[in-house]
Amino acid sequence: MNLPVDFITRTGGLLGEGQFAAFREALAKEPPVSIRMNRLKMDAVPAGGRQVPWCGSGYYLASRPTFTFDPLFHAGCYYVQEASSMFLEQVLTQYVHEPVVMLDLCAAPGGKSTLARSVLPEGSLLVANEVMRNRVQVLAENVTKWGHPGTVVLNNDPADFVPLGELFDVILTDVPCSGEGMFRKDPVAVEEWSVENVTLCWQRQRRIVRDIWHCLKPGGLLVYSTCTYNREENEDNVAWIAEELGAEVLPVEVQPGWNISGNLAGKDFPVYRFLPHRTEGEGLFMAVLRKSGETDAAPCGKLYRERRGKGGKSKPSVVPKEAKAWVKQADDYSFVAGQNKITAFPVAYQEIYERLRDTMHVVYGGIQVAEVKGKDLIPSHSLAMSVCREDVFSSVEVNYEQAIAYLRKESVVLPSDMPKGYILIRYKGMVLGLVKNIGNRANNLYPQEWRIRSGYLPEQVVCVL
Ligand SMILES: C[S@@+](CC[C@H](N)C(=O)[O-])C[C@H]1O[C@@H](n2cnc3c(N)ncnc32)[C@H](O)[C@@H]1O
């Protein structure tokens, strides 16, 4: 790898000569491959998988399969995520013990959002935001497949949040950065690197944190992370947040065997650096800060418990009984009918959801239960991926080739004894989506924009789990 001279000088200075040689050697190696299981759907250990030490559902794989051709990947049974990023699990499980409202401000493609969604206490609301319009769709896709109903996806600039006030108990700012930690995975990151870009990045990161700071409750947690090594975007920015905005930098308990590095800027506060010659993963920097001050506002978790079952303030929409009957524990949701869609959102957070809908650009929220077309009610893919009751639709188990054909949105031939109507397609027991059986054929309801576009079929079945 041809590293920029300025990068060598700067990073060599930061790590010291001995460490830098080992670091450089590690950059020339193949990056490890890792996945994180979606325990909401499937509690399996991948074949030959090795546990990621700081993440209960994370595993290193022995090789990199073509994930696109694994139907269980599309079913949301796991997420492909580099291992260092999974450290967020330690932060959240050590500091968040009751339901919260959490914002993941820079969320696409959704690695840390899906992780947060898995480890936040039950009853938490996750707001996953992505400012780039061309990236928010993949975030919505990944969140939908993950299947947790307590998630909202927004497409807003950090400054747009200001009118919401102190809404969030936890904010993750996984800020856009100069990407030094991605060098071995992404050659473009090396080409685009420059000292000028590092400067642009740390300045932009401060703007992002300053814009969102007002929305963090006093006493709330800010998790700040980058995938870069330099101190300006990391320790220097953390020091700036602590001093300028008013926060305490908090420690996270780690095991010595994880080989996580600490503060490299000679500053007196804890930070967590993943360096590829010491830790099995890509470059990650993470720090946890608690905003100064105390709040009178009840933690959102309390609101959750109080409001559970009571409903929000808006008038209930007229929603067909049939749609409600498709949803597990339907009483926990408030149903909204509008724009030919029926959506279910956890009752406890209905008011927040309404505020978000009124003031922000909501791309996806809760679970889309059904689409209304004339007199027909069509169950949505989002429902099939999430809180669909097991007993309302028949299921058919398909083999590998049929599963790939279904995911390519090709027509599926069902056994002749299948009833007419909506049928769940399952592969290894896991739901891939829906078809409508009309007798002589079945209409494939897989979302057009998510279909596998490649016509290639691997000679061997791709099987990660
Ligand atoms: C490091 S990536 C996030 C990765 C994501 N958290 C994950 O774990 O999958 C940073 C994200 O910030 C977004 N971004 C770029 N400019 C931004 C800005 N000015 N404000 C907020 N987010 C921005 C990028 O589009 C990108 O999706």
Tell which of 330, 353, 384 closes a domain.
Answer: 384
The tens digit of pLDDT for each residue in 81-122 reads 999 999 999 999 999 999 999 999 999 999 999 999 999 999
Atom of ligand 1 nearest to the CA of 204: 19
Number of folded domains that form the chain: 3
Measured from CB, residues less than 6 Å from any atom of ligand 1 are 85, 106-112, 130-132, 135, 158, 174, 176, 204, 208, 227
Q: Tokens at residue 367, please?
A: 């679970």
Q: How far apart are CA 152 and CA 147, in angstroms?
A: 12
Whether 312 shows a pLDDT value over 70: the answer reads no
pLDDT of residue 460: 87
Tell me, yes or no, whether 273 lies in a domain: yes
For residue 77, is it within any domain? no
Decide if 227 is catalytic: yes
Average pLDDT on 238-259 reads 98
Instruction: Check which CATH number belongs to the domain holding 195 and give it.
Output: 3.40.50.150
**pLDDT single digits (tens) 273-283:** 999 999 999 99
At 187, is the pLDDT very low, low, confident or very high (cuts 50, 70, 90)? confident
463 vs 233: which has the higher pLDDT: 233
- CA 81 to ligand 1 centroid distance, Å: 15
Task: Say whether both 261 and 315 belong to one domain.
Answer: no
Dump pLDDT digits (tens) for 348-378: 999 999 999 999 999 999 999 999 998 899 9
71 in any annotated domain: no
Please tell me whether residues 208 and 137 are part of one structural domain: yes
Q: Tell me, in angstroms, the distance from the centre of ligand 1 to residue 176's CA.
A: 5
Are 377 and 399 in the same domain?
Answer: no
Q: Ligand 1 test: best mutation among 81, 103, 119, 131, most atoms within 8 Å of CB? A: 131
The domain spanning residue 407 has which CATH number? 2.30.130.10
Domain limits at 180?
A: 85-291
Determine whether the annotation assigns residue 346 to a binding site.
no
Q: What is the ipTM of this complex?
A: 0.99
pLDDT of residue 317: 64
77 is in an annotated binding site: no
In this structure, the answer to whether residues 97 and 168 fall within a common structural domain is: yes
- Residue 129 CA to ligand 1 center (angstroms) comes to 9
Asked whether residue 312 is domain-assigned, the answer is yes
- Catalytic site residue from 55, 227, 300, 388: 227
Please indicate, yes or no, whether residues 125 and 232 belong to a single structural domain of this protein: yes
331 is in an annotated binding site: no
Substitution candidate for ligand 1 out of 175, 203, 234 with most atoms within 8 A of CB: 175
**237 and 374 housed in the same domain:** no
With CA atoms as reference, report the closest residue to 231 among 199, 260, 209: 199
**Cα–Cα distance between 410 and 442 in angstroms, integer?**
10
Is 282 annotated among the ligand-binding residues? Answer: no
pLDDT above 90 covers what percent of the chain? 85
- Same domain for 360 and 224, yes or no, is no
* 190: pLDDT strictly greater than 60: yes
Could you tell me if 279 and 222 lie in one domain? yes
To 10 degrees, what angle do helices 111-119 and 133-146 make?
Answer: 30
Question: Is residue 167's pLDDT more than 90?
Answer: yes
Query: Residue 14 falls within a domain, yes or no?
Result: no
Q: pTM to 2 decimals?
A: 0.94
pLDDT at 315: 55
Say if residue 259 is in the same domain as residue 191.
yes
- Going by alpha carbons, the residue nearest to atom 16 of ligand 1 is 176
Which pLDDT score is estimated for 307?
44
CA torsion angle 89 92 93 99 (round to 10) = -130
Same-domain status, 157 and 208: yes
33 has a pLDDT exceeding 90:
yes
- For residue 163, is pLDDT > 80? yes
**Is 464 domain-assigned?**
no
- The answer to the question of residue 24 being in a domain is no
Residue 109 counted as domain residue: yes
Q: Are both 315 and 286 inside the same structural domain?
A: no
